[in-house]
Amino acid sequence: MSAPHVPVLLAEVMAALALAPGETYVDATLGAGGYLRAARRHGIAHAYGFDRDPDAHALNADLAGLADVTLIRRPFAELEAGLADQGVAAVDAIAFDIGVSSMQIDRAERGFSFQADGPLDMRMAQEGMSAADFINSASEAEIADVLFRLGDERASRRIARAIVADRPFTRTAELAGLIRRVVGKAEPGRDPATRSFQALRIHVNDELGQLDAGLAAAERLLRPGGRLAVVSFHSAEDRRVKNFLRDRSGSAPAGSRHQPMASSGPAPSFERPAKAVRPSAAEIAANPRARSATLRSAVRTAAPAWPHSREPRA
């Protein structure tokens, strides 16, 4: 089956994963299957593909019947439980491709896009609270906080006030139209509704909470020498990944006489992360959606995973 999605930084992700024959690979964000299909070409023993979106599983139905592939309908926050069900306690490589996929945003009926009218949904798992549920019931302060915190939207208070005054909303075009009227002109080349739609999507799907849990799960699952590769598209996501790997590798800034270094904590569970990788000009020209992608990767040490209480900082 040909996938209607171009995996971003594919060669760079495969290089970071450094897959070898006989290894076990986990694709934490199956999507259209681009990374998993590429991973199988390296002679791995088994690949596990996670995705909470039932459409991703339908799209990759051909993979489900293969002896060396297991598809699991769970969010990546549940990597450990999903693999435990398969009798797997440790793996050699894990990849994450964070955020909304082309197959989700390009389908108006999924409600992710402000460029085409559809139901105001945005749910990756197609269950639970929708974007419409949130904006039609939350307080003005709650809506403004989500838009500002998760979308960096400077007009968050004005947008929230207008939403509460005009609700209920059921369609993406209705909400996008209101935001455009409130915000007016945005940055060149950016629709005024971009930041708000991004924020609502992240909130509805608890994407940052999922990312924190997924990274901690990966730390516990990777064998010594195991590789982690994370592609993100949003500054808040990338910051979380960067801080997680910085802290877990012992690369946090040293203290000074003004701010003494904290007492030593757990031994580094990852080696010093590789330098962040971004798409080439050629890849961006071929796939404009790659423009904001950042790849961060690191190799697992033999040290125990850090305690649950030491989660990534925002």
Please, what are the domains in the chain? 10-101+208-299 (3.40.50.150), 126-204 (1.10.150.170)
Angle at 262 between CA 302 and CA 273, to 5 degrees: 40
Q: Across residues 190-194, what is the average pLDDT?
A: 88
Instruction: Return mean pLDDT, the chain.
Output: 89
Q: How confident is the model at residue 310 (pLDDT cuts 50, 70, 90)?
A: very low
User: What is the per-residue pLDDT across 115-159, written as a single tens digit (0 to 9) for each?
Assistant: 889 999 988 888 889 999 999 999 999 999 999 999 999 999 999
The pTM assigned to this predicted structure is 0.88
User: What is the per-residue pLDDT across 118-129, written as a single tens digit (0 to 9) for each?
Assistant: 999 988 888 889
